[in-house]
Structure 1
Amino acid sequence: MRIVLTAQPMYSHLVPLVLPVARLLRDAGHDVAVATGVQVAEHVENAGLRAIRLPNALSMGQLATDPACAGLGKVPDAMRTDRGRRTIGATPEVFAHNFIGVLGRRFAADLLERLDEQRPDLIVHEATEFGGYLAARVLGIPQAVLDIGPMAPHDTPEVLAELNGLRAAVDLPEIDDPLDPLRGFRASLVPEVYYPEHARLDSAHHYRAPQRRPERLDPEIAALPDDRPMVLASLGSNAPMILGERPQLLETIVEALGEMPVTAVAAIGADRAPRDWAGPRPDNVHLTPFVQQSTLLPAVDAFITHGGFNSTLESFGAGVPMVAVPMFAEQPGNAARIAELGAGLRLNVEDVTTASLREALQRVLDEPRHRARARGVQREMLALPPLPTIADDLVAHAS
């Protein structure tokens, strides 16, 4: 079977799930290619897969920060270079216009041109990439979704309007269901309980997240004192690009941790050496540019996170309660769901002070219910079928 997978040209959209699924399908004997922007195509080829390079595919980061893209997307003022520090979630209008109307349209045009020569039997696209959805509808072939962002605002009038605009451009009939791209086959790495009831679909397939390649924990972290609770703090890899106030936020986090009876590890960013850190340096906080997050999480008592889906998934997989400080995209939705499930607390970035963060973290450490709920979701994840079973399921769907 000839299968094409598609992903936005962003590392976090491509590498954690799309590439593992592509490898599973290839290993099952199928002819597999991954279509994405030229910016990240090397990750596809480094994984031993064939890349379909789409020259006009843009990322959300480019829409937000590249002067050449000025006027293409709807980017809130607080996400531009002169922004202040406040939470900017994936509003339906911004999500629909950018991911469908701009990014999806450009992606689909390139993809349809490339697929004109060789028609696939199935297109599998990640949930924020709509060019693959449109190409499948144009070609009249099955499509499936890898849900890398369960809290994205799919079920909205704004999404429906942009989907119909996308379809009208290629003479497809109008639809009345904004969840049309998800209806056929939606694959998820979180159990059904993670989804609010209104977002649960009959097309849903849930799988256990793939195990990452084993990493050796930094020996300096392993040697940190073990007489107090261990806390990890990380705001992810995309925050420096989107929020100019990230250093100030990190300083607040480090300062709050320094005032608490904990041992902490704070990831300050791959481009920022600890020796150049101008913020506070409390004795109980280990500063590092990068941390082996999935390796360390099972050994910590609480996690201060930006609420990105990959970090949320890893934390639930380790049964670790969270203090979520969302900033942009789907992070506010993930943070809200963490709090609704009782697996931690949410603080909006504009509300973070040393005092508010200390209070939230102390509650997460002191109240057993947060860890109990995180462990409950962890057990549900452990009961899911392993990801390799997705290969047979996708083939059955396409057949």
Structure 2
Amino acid sequence: MAKGAFFNVPLHGHVNATLPVVRELVDRGEDITYYLTESFRPQVERAGARFHRYESTLEGGPNAGSALILPARMPGESRQVLAQLLEAVRAERPDYIVYDPMCLWAWMLGQILRIPAITFRPTMAVDVRSGQFAAFLKSRSAAFAGPMQQAGKELAELMREHGLPPMDLLGMLGQAEPLNLVCVPRSFQMGGDTFDERFLFVGPSIRPRGDAGDFPFEHLAGGPALYISLGTIFNNWPEFYRMCFEAFGGTRWRVVLATGHAVNAAELGPIPGNFLVRPSVPQLEVLERTDVFLTHGGANSLMESFAHGVPVVVIPQMAEQPLNARRVAELGLGLALEKETVTVEQLRQSVDRVSNEPGFREKALAMQRDVQVSGGYLRAADAILEFRARKAA
């Protein structure tokens, strides 16, 4: 039995895609330890891995979970997490590690301890040489110039302390290992044909979660179904939810609206009769019954939507979501709106257009086929085991 270690940042969008792979590896006899914060213990243990806790600077405090400036926070996070985990991982002596590219500290652990490493990317892979990627990263860096400059100094000092070669923050985002698993189909990846054999585009890592509970799916019967969700982080936007009430209340749409836990639905005002409003919903099962998904454009949500052949309207909120929205529009998988300027009429017209023009559904169904042939968590598990076998030979 070989030992594997998974490392991740405490963000649901980064963790969720790894769990089906972990479950599959455990089922095939691998001994997996997952290093995460305490709030993720139940999910990790349900996946069959041994849980090892660490304390994170990303949980608690005014910027907790802020993916807007996550790269700038990685040097400080890495200093804290390395101090907690270096000797524990050294004693564990895993045969391989799998880490999210945002885990700078995990890359450092692999380098310091000379452990074969694999990246696991829940989003599109980053090519800092690409014009579109470079322009996007430059604009994000400029928006947080002060924190990025300070983080660059901290990163240089951290690398020196551990005897590692210099690395800049943008280089960190594009860091590649001998095997890099990417949770989008190559056809969705921006510049997909430019990535070499080190990159395996396995598509979304989706396994039935069995968490539907007593959700009233009958609400979606009797009309076209619209699902609305802004994800798990930046969803505290009451004004948007009220706009949705105005745009779709009393219409033909059967609407499921997931608000997240930061918003009290009782404070949103009267809820239209054709709406079902909950803090969270069983997303996979809802998407099975959905005609259009109005989403923030997180990679997991988009891939789950396309896995069910559902076209989208995207209102990006943060991080890489504007790039995802751009890619959706380029491929004809849906429409993209701007958060700062969105109106009730835009919401209504965009959802109706995506519903009524067959081209959007046709493109989503074509992407569904690409998702299916990419292999998902099964192909990812195969690749990890093949990688481990090569390294052991």
TM over 0.5: yes
CA RMSD after TM alignment = 3.0
Q: How does 1:206-245 map to 2 (within 5 A)?
A: 206-208=201-203, 209-216=205-212, 220-226=216-222, 228-240=223-235, 243=236
1:195 to 189, 193, 211: 189
Q: Does structure 1 residue 287 correspond to structure 2 residue 277? A: yes
Do 2:7 and 2:99's aligned partners in 1 also have CA atoms closer than 8 Å?
yes
1:315-361 Cα shifts (integer Å, max 9, x gaps): 11111111111112222222222112211111121112111211211
2:161 to 163, 169, 175: 169
Do 1:151 and 1:334's aligned partners in 2 also have CA atoms closer than 8 Å?
no
Change (3 A) 1:143 1:360: same
Number of aligned pairs?
366
Do 1:273 and 1:288's aligned partners in 2 also have CA atoms closer than 8 Å?
no
Do 1:232 and 1:302's aligned partners in 2 also have CA atoms closer than 8 Å?
yes
Q: Does structure 1 residue 359 correspond to structure 2 residue 334? A: no
Structure 1 residue 150 displacement after superposition? 1.9
Do 1:18 and 1:126's aligned partners in 2 also have CA atoms closer than 8 Å?
no
Structure 1 residue 232 displacement after superposition? 1.0
2:249 to 239, 258, 272: 258
What residue number does 1:78 align with? none
Q: How does 1:92-111 map to 2 (within 5 A)?
A: 94-98=69-73, 100-111=74-85
**Distance in 2 between the 1:188 and 1:263 partners?**
34
**Distance in 2 between the 1:50 and 1:239 partners?**
30
Do 1:9 and 1:38's aligned partners in 2 also have CA atoms closer than 8 Å?
no
Structure 1 residue 260 displacement after superposition? 4.2
**Distance in 1 between the 2:210 and 2:288 partners?**
13
Structure 1 residue 192 displacement after superposition? 0.5
What residue number does 2:45 align with? 45
**Distance in 2 between the 1:300 and 1:327 partners?**
22
Q: Return 5+ residue gaps in structure 1 as ranges.
A: 67-72, 76-88
Q: Return 5+ residue gaps in structure 2 as ranges.
A: 130-136, 142-147
2:41 is matched by which residue type in structure 1? A
Do 2:287 and 2:310's aligned partners in 1 also have CA atoms closer than 8 Å?
yes
Structure 1 residue 291 displacement after superposition? 2.2
Secondary structure, aligned partner of 2:165: coil
**Distance in 2 between the 1:163 and 1:194 partners?**
32
Q: Does structure 1 residue 148 correspond to structure 2 residue 138? A: no
2:60 to 41, 59, 62: 62
Change (3 A) 1:221 1:22: closer
1:119-156 Cα shifts (integer Å, max 9, x gaps): 22211102322211110011122110111122668666
Change (3 A) 1:151 1:392: closer
Secondary structure, aligned partner of 1:205: strand
Structure 1 residue 4 displacement after superposition? 0.9
1:327 to 292, 303, 317: 317
Change (3 A) 1:317 1:164: farther
**Distance in 1 between the 2:174 and 2:13 partners?**
24
What residue number does 1:69 align with? none
Do 1:304 and 1:324's aligned partners in 2 also have CA atoms closer than 8 Å?
yes
1:26 is matched by which residue type in structure 2? V
Secondary structure, aligned partner of 1:45: helix
1:147-184 Cα shifts (integer Å, max 9, x gaps): 11226686668799586554333111236865663232
Identity score, percent: 29
TM-score by length of 1: 0.81
Structure 1 residue 30 displacement after superposition? 2.5
Change (3 A) 1:224 1:132: closer
**Distance in 1 between the 2:313 and 2:22 partners?**
33
**Distance in 2 between the 1:234 and 1:28 partners?**
35
**Distance in 2 between the 1:271 and 1:95 partners?**
21
Do 2:188 and 2:327's aligned partners in 1 also have CA atoms closer than 8 Å?
yes
What residue number does 1:23 align with? 23
Do 1:108 and 1:130's aligned partners in 2 also have CA atoms closer than 8 Å?
no
**Distance in 2 between the 1:135 and 1:397 partners?**
19
Q: Does structure 1 residue 113 correspond to structure 2 residue 113? A: no
Secondary structure, aligned partner of 1:351: coil
2:185 is matched by which residue type in structure 1? P
Structure 1 residue 6 displacement after superposition? 0.5
Secondary structure, aligned partner of 1:40: helix
